[in-house]
Structure 1
Amino acid sequence: MLPLPKNSEILADAAAVARAAADRLASLCAATPDRPLAICLSGGSTPKRLYTLLAGAEYRDVLPWDRLHWFFGDDRHVPWDDAVSNVRMAREAFAGAPIPPGHVHGMPVSNAIAADAAAYEAELKAFYGAGTLDPEKPLFDLVLLGLGEDGHTASLFPGKPAIAERGAWVAPVPEAGLDPFVPRLTLTFPVLASARSVLMLVTGEAKRAPLRRLAEGEDLPAARIAGPVAWLLDRSAADT
């Protein structure tokens, strides 16, 4: 069995990981009944399973959809109807959920990538109500992240300039580190860390290698995520 990150929970499979994340979100909503909640979404197959679950009969009537705002940790800089768009994936997975208009905050893709990064940063700051992050007032209530086979998270790839960005809230990623090699936008480390809770959703045998590298102390982007981080792993990823 691999040495695992702190605050790790091993679950049976990807479906169990998605259900555990859904239960945590439902608990968060129940414990915070009096204000809007900001959720930062991730791309990938397990998050998609989670979003489909949330939109289904078991959770649809439990969540306070009118108070939930859905943002994105990263996305490809492609039209929202493109097959590799995280916005498209989320919309399809959430089909049937009673999400009010304007509560899905997709990353803009209409202009040059730097301009769209600045526009999304402005949208985040407007929602937050300030231009500077306050450690006592997290931007997000929940951040969902994954672990790439190269150790990246969001679109913060090893060796790319975005991993060093500390001033901007949103960074352009002109060259992705993995397929598909299309430009991307990503939230930066300080913004992802501005959260009451961070969930790393890690499933599948392919994630054993980056987990092993993390255990060995390698400075992978996923190791730089700060804040109250919990890891939900399936047995296949955890090598149990």
Structure 2
Amino acid sequence: MAWRGALAEFLIRKLEHFTSLSNDDKHALDQASRQRTRRIRSRDDIVHEGDLPQGVNLILDGWACRYKTLEDGRRQIIAYLLPGDLCDQNVSVLREMDHSIGTVTAVTLAEIPTETMRQLTSGHARLSQALCWESLVAAAIQREWTVNIGQRTAFERLGHLLCELYVRLRAVGLTQGNTCELPLTQAEIADTIGLSVVHVNRTLQELRSVGLISLRGRELTIHRLEALQRAVQFNPNYLHLGREGRHLDSNEA
């Protein structure tokens, strides 16, 4: 059965990098994603810090981000949520949200009730395993971002972020050759990697000048991915792609 066009298509693609899913697993996940969907405009909040968590949000289309805001208005973006990403699948255990989730572009999301998530994980062993991997990868990305801000140079920070976003998009089929969408403003990049907007602009120019990337509107092209990875010490192992799901026939699962 082809799953292109399914609401949960990008999540299914991502999870199958971790383990092979049966058609029954995919059908259950897709049906769960159809219970309620909503569209949110760009630069708007999906959920605010302090809110009571209500189920699990799955990004179907568009980009979102997790962020924290200090009392004086300074903001730190702590994660990007791309198509196929779940916004904290275990968030229902919290009494209140400890961070906000906002959109970068217009976003379509599926709201999956907590009880539905419990049924998915209890009734589908492979799916439960894959969702566990998804949570572990989200934590691994967070660790890598800590290293990015704490140890890498400005050139390495920005190049590393671009490599990660490209590889994550490529994993779910959202790149065209060496090009992908990059709808981030320089201010958003600054809020992500802990630099000023001026410093981000200067670093982008440096990446362009050595022929590693080009930016045209909302499109990023990485001309020499391996060279960029070496230059910024990017090792994609923390994304844990290419596990058994890439080598097994899902119809045999």
Report TM bin, short chain.
Answer: under 0.3
TM-score, normalising length: structure 2: 0.26
TM-score, normalising length: structure 1: 0.27
